[in-house]
Structure 1
Amino acid sequence: MINAAAEATFKIIQTEFIKKRHFIRLEELLRKLYDYVNWFNYIRIHGTLEYLSPIEYKLKLLKNLC
C-alpha cells in the first residue's frame, strides 16, 4: 500500500511538474520543486480528499479525532 502511494505520487510529479521542462541549474530545479510541493500540499485540491488540499484534509481528520 505504501509503495502504491509513493508510485502514484511520483507519477503525478512526472506528469505535472517534470514533463516538458528543462532546468539549466540544480538550484532552479530545487526552487521550483519546493514551490510545486508546497502548492501540491497546501493549495491543490484532491478529489479523493473530499476536494480539500492534503493539509486541510489532515487537519480535518485530526480535528475529528479530538
Structure 2
Amino acid sequence: MCRWLNMPRSSYYYQAVESVSEMEFEETIKRIFLESESRYGSRKIKICLNNEGITRSRRRIRRIMKRLNLVSVYQKATFKPHSRGKNEAPIPNHLDRQLASILACFSKAHHFILLYITR
C-alpha cells in the first residue's frame, strides 16, 4: 500500500507525539520546582519531566529556569580543613643499621658478573 501511495513505510508507522506549548512547559517546570521546595536543579527537573513523558534538553530547562529566576537552594560547606603546621616529631634511629657495607658487597658482585659475561 505504501508503494502504491509513493510514501515511505516510516511515515505509515510514525506515531505523532503531542507537543507541549512553551507556556505549559514553563508552568510544568515551575510546578516541579516549587513541589521540590526549591531543591531541584535542571538535572532532577529533567528526570521528573521524563517521568511525565516530556522530553527536553537539560540546557533548555536551565535556560527557562534562568529566565524565571528559579535558583535551587544548596548548603555551603561550613568546614574546611586547614593545615596547622607539621605534625612531625623527630624520631630517633633505634636500629642504627649500616647499609653502606651491604650495598658495597652487592655492587662488587654485580661487577664480577658483568666482567664474567663480557669475556
Q: Which is greater in Rg?
A: 2
Richer in helix (by share): 1
TM-score, length of structure 1 as denominator length: 0.28
TM-score, length of structure 2 as denominator length: 0.19
